Amino acid sequence: MKVLVAALFLILAPFSASAATDDAARQAVERLLGHLGGAPQWAEARGAYIYEVHVSRWARLPYTHQVWIDFERPRVLVRVENQDLRQLRAMNLSDGWWIQESSIEPYSADFMADELKRWLASAYRVLHLAAKGDSRLAYNLQDDGVLEFSLEGTAVLRMKLDSEGRPVSYARFNNDFGSETMLGSLEAYGGVSLWKLVRTPDSSLVSHNLRFRLLPDGPQISFDPPADLNNIER
C-alpha cells in the first residue's frame, strides 16, 4: 500500500521546478528524441498503441501482445492471444481487472501497485514527458552513456545510448534496475521511429514490434471489463 500511495503522489502532484539538468543531458535527450521521430510528435501524443509478437521460453507457441497506454492517466489495457491462451487485463485509474478462467477478477493491491509502477516507468510515457518538457522530469547523463530519468526526484528509467545517441537498452525502476531490456535497431512506424525488437539479456523473451502508433487523442477504447465474456472483440 505504501508503494501505491507513493505512485499516486507522483501521478497527482502538481508540477514543480525540475531538478537541475545539465546541458549534456538535455542535448542527449534532444538527440534521442530526434532519432525517434522528433519531440513534437511525442509531445502531442496522449497515448500509444503497441502490437508485438512475443517468443518466450515458457510458452509453447509465439503469442500476440497488444497494449493500449494512456500517457495522461494510469490506464493500460493488455491483450495476449495465441492458440493456447487468450488473456485480457486492464488498469483503469485506481483499480484494475483481468479475465481469469472465464471470470473477471479484480487486481490485488500488490499487483495494482506493480502496475502503477510499470506505468510510471513506461519508456513510451517517459519519452512523452521529456518531449513536452514536463517540469517534474529531470535527466542525468552518466559517464557510461546511460541517461537516467527521474520524476519528482525518484529514478524511473535508465536508458543506455550508443555513440550517436540512439537507444540500445533500458531498465525500469519497477525491477530495481536489476534486468536490462535490450533494444534492436530503429524502424519507422508512421511518422516516428522505434526499436523493432526487444529482448531480455538471455533471450528468454524476444518481442518483435509489428505496429506502433502514437495516439494524439489518447486511446479511444474502453478500459472497463467486457459485459459479455463470450463475445470479446479480437
In angstroms, the CA 48 to CA 220 distance is 10
User: CA Rg, the chain, in Å?
Assistant: 18
User: Does any domain span residue 153?
Assistant: yes
User: Does any domain span residue 223?
Assistant: no
In the chain, which stretches have pLDDT less than 70? 1-21, 101, 174-178, 228-234
CA separation (Å) from 213 to 6, 37, 79, 127, 194? 30, 12, 16, 14, 10
Q: What total number of domains does the chain contain?
A: 1
Task: Give the per-residue pLDDT at 18.
Answer: 39
Phi-psi region of 49 (alpha: psi -120 to 50; beta: other; left: phi over 0): beta
Q: Do the bridges between strand 167-172 and strand 154-161 make them parallel or antiparallel, or are there none, so unpaired?
A: antiparallel
155: containing domain: 2-13+22-215
Q: Which three cell numbers stand for residue 215?
A: 495516439
In angstroms, the CA 24 to CA 184 distance is 25
Task: Give the per-residue pLDDT at 195.
Answer: 97
User: Does any domain span residue 224?
Assistant: no
The per-residue DSSP string of 108-121 comes to: PHHHHHHHHHHHHT
102-136 pLDDT per residue, tens:
789 999 999 999 999 999 999 999 999 999 999 99
Asked if 26 contacts 19 with a C-beta cutoff of 8 angstroms, the reply is no
CATH code of 166's domain = 2.50.20.10
Q: Give the E-state strand segments of 82-199 in sequence order.
A: 86-92, 95-100, 103-106, 137-141, 146-151, 154-161, 167-172, 181-183, 186-189, 192-195, 197-199
User: Does any domain span residue 35?
Assistant: yes
Asked if 210 contacts 196 with a C-beta cutoff of 8 angstroms, the reply is no
Task: Give the per-residue pLDDT at 219.
Answer: 97
Alpha helices in 2-150 (DSSP H): 2-12, 23-35, 39-44, 109-120, 123-131
pTM: 0.87
